[in-house]
Amino acid sequence: DGGITQSPKYLFRKEGQNVTLSCEQNLNHDAMYWYRQDPGQGLRLIYYSQIVNDFQKGDIAEGYSVSREKKESFPLTVTSAQKNPTAFYLCASSVYDGGPYNEQFFGPGTRLTVL
Amino acid sequence: AQSVTQLDSQVPVFEEAPVELRCNYSSSVSVYLFWYVQYPNQGLQLLLKYLSGSTLVKGINGFEAEFNKSQTSFHLRKPSVHISDTAEYFCAVRGTGGFKTIFGAGTRLFVKA
């Protein structure tokens, strides 16, 4: 089955620690995205990558970092510089073109709680 | 640039009643429009999309939406809801030829028995 997996489902972190959230896809999609979801605010784009070894900041990139060394993988690191990291994090992927078929497919999410 | 406004943050409705979730957008270029559904503690699932052609779009689970270019709206409807439709619904827009998808703040649909 093709799809997107995120791990772990729940993650607890102490203040001052960096944590890395995993995202893997086997849809052969070029583009991958990370979103943050807070109640009542919808989805906000953190980072996106259109191709391997390249990525761009989204609307709320401060305190986060990413890498894209493989087409299938797009891990997100939440650093200690992120002032309010408790949130639900969603990874997505799509084909990369400006045409009509690049709707985004989403993973199940990771809920991060800072203790 | 595009923006999306979902006009209702919460919509309570009784089972088997009809429902409409409202979405307005703004854009200086032609757009593709999407509705996604999110069940608690899960990712988003595509319900339906408008790309071009017929303005009435049918999706999964009996939902449909109508694209109204003059009113810049893309409202989601279902003639008879079930308890299992309780979820959060997101409207999204992307400019044709563009890459970034903009999501609305979401509408929480609560279906009561």
* pLDDT tens readout for residues A25-35: 999 999 999 99
Identify the band that residue A1 occupies on the pLDDT scale cut at 50, 70 and 90.
Answer: low
* Binary contact (A98, B97; C-beta < 8 A): yes
Predicted confidence (pLDDT) per residue in B6-62, tens digit: 999 999 999 999 999 999 999 988 889 999 999 988 899 999 999 888 899 999 999
CATH of the domain at B29: 2.60.40.10
Cα gap A85→A87, rounded to integer Å: 6
Interface test with B, best of A37, A55, A93 (most B CBs within 10 A): A37
The total number of structural domains in chain B stands at: 1
Give the burial class of B15: count Cβ atoms within 10 A of its Cβ; 0-12 exposed, 13-18 middle, 19 or more buried: middle
Q: Are B36 and B47 in contact (CB under 8 A)?
A: yes
Query: Is cis: bond before B12, omega within 30 of 0?
Result: no
Cα gap A81→A88, rounded to integer Å: 18
User: Can you give the pLDDT at residue A99?
Assistant: 66
Cα gap B72→B45, rounded to integer Å: 23
Q: Which residue of A has its CA nearest to B106?
A: A42
User: Can you give the pLDDT at residue A98?
Assistant: 59
Query: A31-49 burial, b for 16+ CB within 10 Å, e for fewer?
Result: bbbbbbbeeeebbebbbbb
From A49, A52, A40, A31, select the one nearest A104 (Cα to Cα): A31
DSSP-based three-state secondary structure for B43: coil
Q: Are A19 and A13 in contact (CB under 8 A)?
A: yes
Predicted confidence (pLDDT) per residue in A35-77, tens digit: 999 987 889 999 999 899 999 999 999 999 999 999 999 999 9
Q: Does B89 touch chain A (CB under 8 A)?
A: no
Q: Does B76 touch chain A (CB under 8 A)?
A: no
Mean pLDDT of A80-90: 92
CA distance A80 to chain B (A): 25
Q: What are φ and ψ of residue B84, in 5° steps?
A: -70, -10
Domain enclosing residue B42, as ranges:
2-112
Cα gap B9→B86, rounded to integer Å: 14
* Binary contact (B99, A109; C-beta < 8 A): no
CA distance B2 to chain A (A): 14
Distance of CA B58 to the CA centre of its chain: 12
